[in-house]
Amino acid sequence: MDREFFLKNGYIIAPAERIDVLEQLRDQIFEKAKKMVDYNGEDATQFFNQFHHYELTGTQLNDRRFELYNDISKNLNAGELIYQAYEDLLTNLVGPDILVQKGTNLVIQQPGDSNTSPVHRDSPLNSPFEVVGWVPLVDIYATKGMYVLNLAKTDKALELLSDLDSGYEQFQKYTEKEGTRLEMKFGEALFFWPGLVHGIPLNQEEETRWSLNIRYKGLFSPVGSKGLGEFFQILRLSPLAQVALEHEKEECSK
């Protein structure tokens, strides 16, 4: 992991340490997703990229995406597989005692779909002691991806936002102009501090983007509005944490 790059920018793009694990997850999602439509082929990349040709939109698309999201979260253990694919990086970022978000979010952004999240940041509502993992299931480029401001540019954007008269308009224009447009191949993932400003452009390419996003945080780090039990579950424990937690459990049972 490029520690200095992350400390300066608040994000890092990294190739999978175990691409086989990520391919396994993508293929499992593909097998479930192609049941949404009449597709009998075996080419996951072609299916994801050309998904918009099935013309699922609005409520119909959202209902099927939500069904797929529930299936992924309950049956595929995506948080574990993503961790395995980027284990060294995530351990270096978060520490040895790791919580993972219970549900893995799935986004399907078709060409011309204006139903995207506005420019925003996830913290302070969420804990600043989290890392967001953004994992595309296809290659992304130009408007098929997302854009993110580094730490310094995030501070500048927030200064613009504080203007009561035209703050959000300036904030949005600055973010769209100064944000780093991501170019990523399948197998690469973006991990970023949730305080960074980021946004999703209108997809003007001729391919659909499929991506996963999920959060990881340290077990003993401060929580935001979503804490252990409600939103997170334990993923990994150091030997020391295992001994300490077992001891506390025994003490409470006396």
Q: What is the mean pLDDT of residues 207-226?
A: 91
Report which of 231, 155, 165 is spatially closest to residue 193, judged by C-alpha positions.
Answer: 155
pTM recorded for the entire structure? 0.93
Question: What is the pLDDT at residue 254?
Answer: 60
Backbone angles phi, psi at 10, to 5 degrees: 85, 5
Rg of the chain on CA atoms, in Å: 19
Average pLDDT of the residues of the chain: 92
Residues of the chain with pLDDT > 90, as a percent, come to: 72
Question: What is the pLDDT at residue 223?
Answer: 83
Note the pLDDT tens digit of each residue in 191-205: 999 999 999 999 999
**pLDDT class of 222 with cuts at 50, 70, 90:** confident
Q: Are 184 and 190 in contact (CB under 8 A)?
A: yes
CB half-sphere exposure, 50, CA atoms < 13 A: 8
Q: Are 180 and 145 in contact (CB under 8 A)?
A: no
Look at 102 and 252; give whichever has higher pLDDT. Answer: 102
pLDDT surpasses 70 at 135: yes
Note the pLDDT tens digit of each residue in 82-110: 999 999 999 999 999 999 999 999 999 99
d(CA 107, CA 142): 17
DSSP string, 175-210: HHHHSEEP-B-TTEEEEE-TTS-EE-----SSS-EE
Question: What is the pLDDT at residue 91?
Answer: 96
* Segments making up each domain of the chain, as ranges: 3-253
d(CA 88, CA 1): 8
Question: What is the pLDDT at residue 38?
Answer: 83
| Domain 3-253: CATH superfamily, name plus number | q2cbj1_9rhob like domain (2.60.120.620)
In degrees, rounded to 5, the angle at the alpha carbon of residue 175 between the alpha carbons of residues 167 and 107 is 115
pLDDT surpasses 80 at 226: no
**pLDDT class of 215 with cuts at 50, 70, 90:** very high
d(CA 30, CA 173): 36
Q: Are 125 and 173 in contact (CB under 8 A)?
A: no
- Tell whether the torsion through CA atoms of 58, 59, 61 and 62 is positive or negative: positive
pLDDT surpasses 90 at 74: no
Comparing 13-27, 31-45, 81-95, 159-173, the range with the smallest average pLDDT is 159-173
Question: What is the pLDDT at residue 168?
Answer: 86
Note the pLDDT tens digit of each residue in 38-60: 888 999 999 999 999 999 888 88
